[in-house]
Amino acid sequence: MKGSRFQHLLASIGVLRHPCDLDLLLFFHRHPHALLTSDRLAAYVGYDLNQITRSLDLLTDAGLLKRSQNPTHAARMYVLQTPRTGWLTSLIDIATTLDGRRSLLDAMKEVSEVETSDDQSKPSDALSRTRRHRNVS
Amino acid sequence: MAEMDLVKTGVSGLDGILGGGIPRGNVIVVEGPAGSGKTTLGLEFIYRGATEFNEPGLIVLFEVSPIKMIRDAAQFGWDLPELERQGKVKIIFTTRSVLQQELQQADSLLLAEAARIGARRMFIDSLPPLASDPQNGQNGHNGGAREMFHTLVQGLHRENLTAMLAVESPGLERVRDAVPPVEEFIADTIIFIRIDDVQRAANRSLEIVKSRGHDFTMGSHSFRIVDGRGLEVYKRVQAPRGMSREMAASYDPTTRVSTGVPGLNELVNGGFFLGSTTLLVGVSGVGKSVIGLQFIAEGARRGERSLMMSLDETPAQIARNARTIGIDLEAASATGNVVVQYDSPQEIEIDRHFAQIERIVEEFQPKRVVIDSLSTYGSALGSSLRIFRDFFHALVALMKEHQIAAVYNHENPEILGMSSMAGEYGMSSLVDNILLLNWVELSDEFRLALTIAKMRANPTRRITCECEVVNGEGMHILPRHVPPAALPFGSYYGLVSRSPERHTVRTSIQRS
């Protein structure tokens, strides 16, 4: 019952697919303006660099994150963008508790397994969800 | 000469110690151990700048997450998210190495963020300790931190930001090294924060050891972190308070203040002078507080503002005691002419306590003050006799500056007679008037004696009078002529010397 509630929340958000996406979002909630290298981000959040890069791209494409683009700087300025809808607050409220975060990660895995089988038939579905959430302040 | 552009910290009490503020563009190092209050000081520097001086500020964090800092700031009533929304504050989380790289680049992302909000202040929390060990040079493990510090300071100078850097010191107490660490040469202003162990308690203090471009008050000043307010810094009690107080060494030799004790005015030529310092000395229970209360009540009766500062009893207890001698202290307080202030002697921080008295005196402007009692200060301060003397000296100067007739109760431990007026405290020279209250054992009763032991610039007879405290009425001085059945004090030798002897010749009684 509880699990399905989290799955429903994740499905309505539509953006977060990998645990790293959630943890990165939580990190930027705690640090709304962060000037960091990807390496340092990977160390702070606890995922490998490739996954961090994918998750950063995902959050940026979804309009949840703004990052500076300057190749001469090793670090980038990341600024969390707050969506106009209140889902981020609901998500944070849940995810900032130990049980809530675990439940969300479990739900995410289940969704991911379902989507893996779905994605084989509908490859463009994730991208369309990402675009749906670009409406941010 | 052009007026110096000083940046006010806005921290209560700190700008006064800094001579008005810190010269704009100075790089300020705040060094102290964990938990000493560095972050709170830096945070308040930014908050006050944004809210009181229209100077936006940037906070750069390395370890503490911004969300925790926002939560901690809320405890002081500082709404950082609102200031972020208004574009007056920005909190950026980064790493030390990124900061170092950023400050080496002309197109720094960090400084671009600072420029975006028009930042005039920056707080960086925090840098590691930069030890003075010569081996920690370029090749030592701390060499990177030193290099970073150099780069940081140069970058901040370039941007003309007034920046505060929190630097961790390794121990609970900052030990001054023979060779100062590198940041002490480079930084413009250095503030040490300490946590001092005082009889199993811990007191915070800060010291400005260096500040380029202006004058400041040296020495160690106490401070507190107060919920809902922030830092409160109290200038050390010994520090000079300005010429007006230094010059106020005398009293008004024309205006006398009635004592409120029937019969006592006659013994002191009509009352105590305004601005004079009177010490009431005697063993516990002898009636010092009674005289103090009557002095306050007399002020209330005359419509004069009076302050009673007690370390011994709470206002409720004092009011109860006053009722027993016919004084309605609560009614007097209700008129607004009487203030009864209590401070617990336990773990007293003398700088804070003095600042509290100073504030009351400056705001309330009393004509009369009773301090009950000096001996409690003595025991509260433990073995720090020097601190006690400095405190008393500052108190006397404060009262003289405001031309207050001040009465200080002082408990003398000797139950019969006295071998010393002020014991080991050595404060007699600061005092204008000394009244000794003694028990005198005659026959099978203790009788109360009052001796005018000192009246500076106010010649009077040094006589010992009998007095009594009557339930519902208070103290009064007994007439010197008493019925022959009860011999007057004039019938004895050595009343205050612990061994009174009766005259054998009756004429000596008649003489008095």
Give B105's contacts in chain A (Cβ within 8 Å): 72-73
> Nearest CA of chain A to the CA of B58: how many Å?
11
Mutate to test the interface with B, among A31, A36, A45, A81 (most CBs of B within 10 A): A31
- Summarised one tens digit per residue, pLDDT across range B189-242 is 999 999 988 777 788 999 999 999 899 999 999 999 999 999 999 999 877 777
Beta carbons of B109 and A75 less than 8 Å apart? yes
> A40 to chain B: which residues are within 8 Å by CB?
95, 98
Decide if B105 and A72 are in contact by the 8 Å CB cutoff: yes
Q: For the segment B441-480, what is each residue's pLDDT rounded down to a tens digit?
A: 887 888 999 999 988 887 888 788 999 999 999 999 998 7
The yes-or-no verdict on residue B246 having pLDDT over 80 is no
A106-125 tens-digit pLDDT: 888 776 676 666 655 554 44
The Cα–Cα gap between B416 and B382 comes to 25
Decide if B109 and A34 are in contact by the 8 Å CB cutoff. Answer: no
B101 and A75 within 8 Å at the Cβ level: the answer is: yes
Residue of B nearest to A30 (CA): B67
Among the partner residues A29, A32, A35, nearest to B110 by beta-carbon distance: A35
CB contact under 8 A, B65 and A30: yes
pLDDT at B382: 72
Binary contact (A36, B95; C-beta < 8 A): yes
Nearest to B109 among A29, A32, A68 (CB): A68
Interface test with A, best of B62, B95, B101 (most A CBs within 10 A): B95
Give the pLDDT of residue B142: 53
DSSP state letters, chain A: -HHHHHHHHHHHH----SHHHHHHHHHHHH-SEEEE-HHHHHHHHTS-HHHHHHHHHHHHHTTSEEE---TT-SSEEEEE--BSSTHHHHHHHHHTSHHHHHHHHHHHHHHHHHHHHHHHH-TTHHHHHHHHT--B-
Q: Where does the pLDDT of residue B119 fall: very low under 50, low under 70, confident under 90, or very high at 90 and above? A: very high
ipTM exceeds 0.90: no
User: How far is the alpha carbon of A24 from chain B, nearest alpha carbon, in Å?
Assistant: 14
CB pairs under 8 A between A and B: 58
> Is position A137 within any domain?
no
- Residue at A22 is within a domain: yes
Provide the pLDDT for residue A115. Answer: 63
* Closest CB from A31, A35, A40 relative to B65: A31
Percent with pLDDT over 70 in chain A: 77
Question: What pLDDT sits at residue A136?
Answer: 41
pLDDT of residue B335: 94
Selected residue with higher pLDDT from B339 and B253: B339
The domain of A98 spans: 2-81+88-132
Identify which has the larger pLDDT, B364 or B130.
B364
The residues on B that touch A, with CB distances below 8 Å, are 65-68, 90-95, 98-99, 101-102, 105, 107, 109-110, 113
Picking from B67, B95, B105, the nearest residue to A73 by CB comes out as: B105
Q: Which residue of A has its CA nearest to B91?
A: A33
Return the HEC string of B3-61.
CCCEECCCCECHHHHCCCCEECCCEEEEEECCCCCHHHHHHHHHHHHHHHCCCCEEEEE
Q: For residue A133, what pLDDT band results from cuts at 50, 70 and 90?
A: very low
- The per-residue pLDDT for range A3-43, each reduced to its tens digit, is 677 777 777 777 888 889 999 999 999 999 999 999 999 99
CATH number at residue A118: 1.10.10.10
Contact B93 A68 (CB under 8 A): no
pLDDT of residue B131: 56
Structural domains of chain B, with CATH: 6-234 (3.40.50.300), 243-479 (3.40.50.300)
Burial degree of B346 (CB within 10 A; 0-12, 13-18, 19+)? exposed
pLDDT tens digits, one per residue of B389-421: 889 989 999 999 999 999 999 988 777 666 666
- Is B67 exposed, middle or buried (CB count within 10 Å of its CB: 0-12, 13-18, 19+)? middle
Highest mean pLDDT among B198-212, B305-319, B345-359: B305-319
pLDDT of res. A109: 79
Quick check: B458 and B405 in contact, CB under 8 A?
Answer: no
Q: Tell me what the pLDDT averaged over chain B comes to.
A: 86
Q: Do B109 and A33 touch (CB under 8 A)?
A: no
The band of B498, judged by pLDDT with boundaries at 50, 70 and 90, is low
For B269-306, the pLDDT digits (tens) are 999 999 999 999 999 889 999 999 999 999 999 999 99
What is the number of structural domains in chain A?
1
Cβ separation of A36 and B102 shorter than 8 Å? no
* Residue A83 reports pLDDT greater than 90: no
Residues of chain A that touch chain B, judged by Cβ-Cβ distance less than 8 Å: 29-37, 40, 68, 70, 72-77
pLDDT reported for residue A125:
46
